[in-house]
Amino acid sequence: MNEIFSRNILIEKIGKEGQKKLNNTKVLVAGLGGLGSGVIANLTSLGIGTIGLLDCDKIEKTNLNRQFIHKYCDIGIEKTKSAQNWIKNYHPEIKTYAYNLKLDEYNYTNIIQNYDIIVDCFDSYVSKFLLNKIAIKNNKILIHAGVSEFQGQVTTIINKQTPCLNCLFEDIKNLNEYEVKGIVSPIINIIASIQSNEIIKIILNFDNILKGKLLTFSLFNYKLNILNFERNKNCSICNEH
């Protein structure tokens, strides 16, 4: 195990102890599309020892401009299966658990308790808000991201410590969930890498985690911003728990 991760271990801020912590970490990847592909590749390379894979979709041709862990020859198979195969081929010692289901208010309980951190790689805001609610209710760290066209955003949400997704974007009633938007692969990989980097920082107790901060980045004009945002005292999600 240590030979594979020797270049991680050489970093003073990681070292053998840090690598051990990463190996003992359990992360649930919610959504196995573009963001999920980047996050899975990074988590596997970092040596995150247990990875949960949640998605109810099957691979389609239109996924292949960005979802690079899924292959043309696997069109029609479940994304959970394809992701499991990818991890197994890359690094067989990493434990994976596949959850081929659509997340709802009731079916998460036996899943979520097994993980330290949840990574929001969903593409639907309805699913993102549900995941936010579940993470807050169960005191799980949630690393949110969203991507569109050439832009993306990341923030880390921790119950009682940071604002939640609902504090940030309360009114989603006007969002058209069924509108298919364009997206290019490079921004997805950058944003997925920032989500993955947050996991290193959280597990190894680094400073400058994106708690209460929304990082936005555009590949169109190369502008990066980090905006502070506050908890909404009237938030119906994070003030209940």
Q: Which residues bind Zn ion (CB under 5 A)?
A: 164, 166-167, 235, 237-238
Q: How far is the CB of 168 from Zn ion (least distance, A)?
A: 8
Nearer to Zn ion, 7 or 233 (CB): 233
Q: Please report how close the Cβ of residue 237 comes to Zn ion at its closest, in angstroms.
A: 5
Which C-beta is closer to Zn ion: that of 83 or that of 167? 167
Of 149 and 170, which has the nearer Cβ to Zn ion?
170
183 vs 237 by CB, closer to Zn ion:
237
Nearer to Zn ion, 218 or 232 (CB): 232
Residue type present at position 45: S
Instruction: Give the nearest distance from C-beta 42 to Zn ion in angstroms.
Output: 28
Shortest Å, Cβ 117 to Zn ion? 19
CB of 170 to Zn ion, least distance (A): 8
